[in-house]
Amino acid sequence: MEDTEHIVAEAMAEAESAESSRALYEVKMKFLGRTGKVTALLKGMRDVAQELRPAFGKRINDLREKLETLFEDLEKKVKKRELQKKLSEEQIDVTMPGRRTAAGALHPITRTRDELIDIFAGMGFEVFEGPEIETEYYNFTALNTPADHPARDMQDTFYIRDGILLRTQTSAGQIRLMEKKKPPIKMLSPGRVYRADDDATHSPMFHQMEGLVVDKNVTLCDLQGMLDEFARKMFAETAKTRLRPSYFPFTEPSVEVDVSCSACGGKGCSLCKGTGWIEVLGAGMVNRRVLENCGIDSAEYGGFAFGMGIERIAMLKYGVRHIRAFFENDTRFLEQFKD
């Protein structure tokens, strides 16, 4: 008979050196498992003489109990150690700063467009958007721009095919709206326009904001009153406008509209080239022929219209010198327009 004390000593030594609960389990199986040493002893009972069996059996049972308690105690200790290790390894520092997600922001042109819409919506204008691919009729003919007008030249206009082009001006929307809606009309039409033009202040694609008012007894004074309101809200509370005679085929009379320079307050600086004024848009009283082209009686109704470049407004407002900056998608530039 193998010495039971010896087995206990062996089991204790192995169990105590087990570092993990997994290793400890393996030691336990080695002694108490189905093919373990203690189990083998029990199986060996058969070969023990009848009279010695009770004493032998008791001894083995004691041994098993002893080992079971030993493993139980050790299991508790190992589990506790493992838990502590896990807790200390998985500790989180709640004071550590979180990871920031970069938030996007509206593009400066979108912001400027929205600001313009807000200003004019406050004066009762409704937004109407026309298509970017237009017919020559809406972009030119109906706007009283004859076939031999230089604006129709291939050098200014992107033609898609005969009679179809990328609109050069949001003014085309005026016709589309007047064909559908009868006066009174107060329309605002923002959108992309295209011209074969490319330098520091011109881009082949840019944005315009068109305005159109058609009603009875509309005067140039109404136009200037609204533009004054626009200049005050967009640039400075003290901003003023000035109208200069000009020419557009679709307006008569036509004007260029200047806004007092917000950089120098009208005294004259490098931005306004010493004049105190900055040209911001074209406007005028809607040419009667344009009204008639849309079936509106020009004896009863009159109107005014204006068109401005959204990039130009944004460049003036934010002091941007090169129009390309808006389209290069350089986040260092764009981020400056975040709130």
Helix %, strand %, coil % for the chain, to 5? 45, 20, 35
221 token code pair:
């004074």
Give the C-alpha separation, 227 to 246, whole Å.
17
In the window 235-254, what residues touch ligand DAH (CB under 6 A)?
248, 251
Does the footprint of ligand DAH cover residue 282 (CB under 6 A)?
A: yes
State in angstroms the smallest separation of the CB of 324 from ligand DAH. Answer: 20
Give the range of 6-14, 110-118, 276-284, 322-330 binding ligand DAH by CB under 6 A.
276-284
Select from 285, 283, 286, 281 the least CA-distant residue to 308.
281
Give the gyration radius of the chain's Cα atoms: 44
Q: Does 36 bind ligand DAH (CB under 6 A)?
A: no
Please give the span between the terminal C-alpha atoms of the chain, in angstroms, as a whole number: 88
Judged by beta carbon, residue 41 or residue 223, the one nearer ligand DAH is: 223
Q: Which is nearer to ligand DAH, 56 or 326 (CB)?
A: 326
Smallest CA-to-CA distance from 178 within 24, 329, 288 is with 288
Please identify, among the stretches 10-18, 32-40, 45-53, 277-285, the one whose residues bind ligand DAH according to the rule CB under 6 A: 277-285
Task: Kindly write out the interface string for residues 111-150 of this chain, putting x where it contacts ligand DAH by CB under 6 A and - elsewhere.
Answer: ----------------------------------------
Between helices 21-32 and 53-89, what is the axis angle to 10°? Answer: 170
Site for ligand DAH in 145-174 (CB under 6 A): 169, 171
**Shortest approach of ligand DAH to residue 102 CB, angstroms?**
37
Q: Which amino acid is at 250?
A: F
Cα separation values, 270 from 315, 320, 325, Å: 14, 14, 21
Of the candidate spans 36-44, 199-207, 280-288, 329-337, the one that interacts with ligand DAH by CB under 6 A turns out to be: 280-288
For the CB of residue 254, give the shortest distance to ligand DAH in the complex, in Å.
6
Quick one: which H or E segment has residue 126? strand 126-127
Question: With CB under 6 A, what is the number of residues at the site for ligand DAH?
Answer: 11
Per residue, the 3-state secondary structure of 187-248, as one string, reads: EEEEEEEECCCCECCECCEEEEEEEEEEECCCCHHHHHHHHHHHHHHHCCCCCCEEEEEEEE
- Pairwise CA distance, residues 117 & 147, whole Å: 33
Using alpha carbons, select from 137, 156, 154, 134 the residue that is nearest to residue 145.
Answer: 137
- The span of 18-26, 154-162, 184-192, 305-313 binding ligand DAH (CB under 6 A) equals 305-313
From 57-65, 233-241, 265-273, 304-312, span contacting ligand DAH (CB under 6 A): 304-312
Nearest residue to ligand DAH by CB is: 307
Q: Is 284 in the site for ligand DAH (CB under 6 A)?
A: yes
- Give me the 200-219 binding string for ligand DAH, x by CB under 6 A, dash otherwise: ----------x---------
Q: Which residues bind ligand DAH (CB under 6 A)?
A: 169, 171, 210, 248, 251, 282-284, 305-307
